[in-house]
Amino acid sequence: MIQDSGINWIRLDSRNQLINHYWDLLKEIDLYIHRHNDLEDATYWAICRDNTTHNEIFCSNNTGKTITTPWTTVAKEFPELSIIQRKLQLHAYIGRTMVGNWGIHRHCYAPDSAWNIAIFDSGCSNGHVDFYKTSTSKLDPNNAYYEDEVDFNSDGFTLWESVPIMTGDMLSLNTWAWHSHITENRNVCAFLSCLKNTPPGTGTRSRIKRTLKEVEKT
């Protein structure tokens, strides 16, 4: 299931049957969400079971609105969703976002969930995710939903590593590391899921790799 990895990323094998089936399922759910919600001008939508702050639609004019389709409805309509997420040890959350050339930022789903799985669904022909080191931080590592952004030219940030991204790529990314994503256009779409038991710190990447290898055996 693992094709390659770096310090803050793991590239999943796009030939893996389970991951590809999950991607197909997410595309079906996306169509379902579109049929039941007003997603005009939406740059992001998400639903989850555990925390209502993630049930939202975010639009390009910086306005947000609540998504009207609850997690329970989606889980009932697509029973395989919960099965696959349990196998991959994912939170009961899915999102779809437009990936743009944002500044340097970091975020996490929960204190124990610093890594995600990002499936780049469309629009990405030549992009990359860059990770940065910094000696200072304005963020509280115990704040589960805090997200901060700095300018690309901010002092104190040094490029750490870079991973290329293209349509069809499936990556697990450490989103609690400072990072940015660079794309050729604003039409890059990605599906997002969040891994359980992946707190910030050393050892987490190795645990994820062991988990994925165990899943591949089942």
Q: Which helix (H) or strand (E) holds 71?
A: helix 71-77
Say whether pLDDT at 150 is over 70: no
- Over residues 184-213, the pLDDT tens digits come to 777 789 999 999 999 888 789 998 998 888
- The more confidently predicted of residues 120 and 101 is 120
Please give the span between the terminal C-alpha atoms of the chain, in angstroms, as a whole number. Answer: 12
Residues near 34 by beta carbon (within 8 Å), at least 6 away in sequence? none
Q: Provide mean pLDDT across the span 139-150.
A: 53
- The more confidently predicted of residues 98 and 173 is 173
Check: CB of residue 148 under 8 Å from CB of residue 105: yes
Q: Which amino acid is at 201?
A: G
In the chain, what are the domains? Answer: 2-217 (2.60.120.10)
Q: Structure tokens of 3?
A: 């094709």
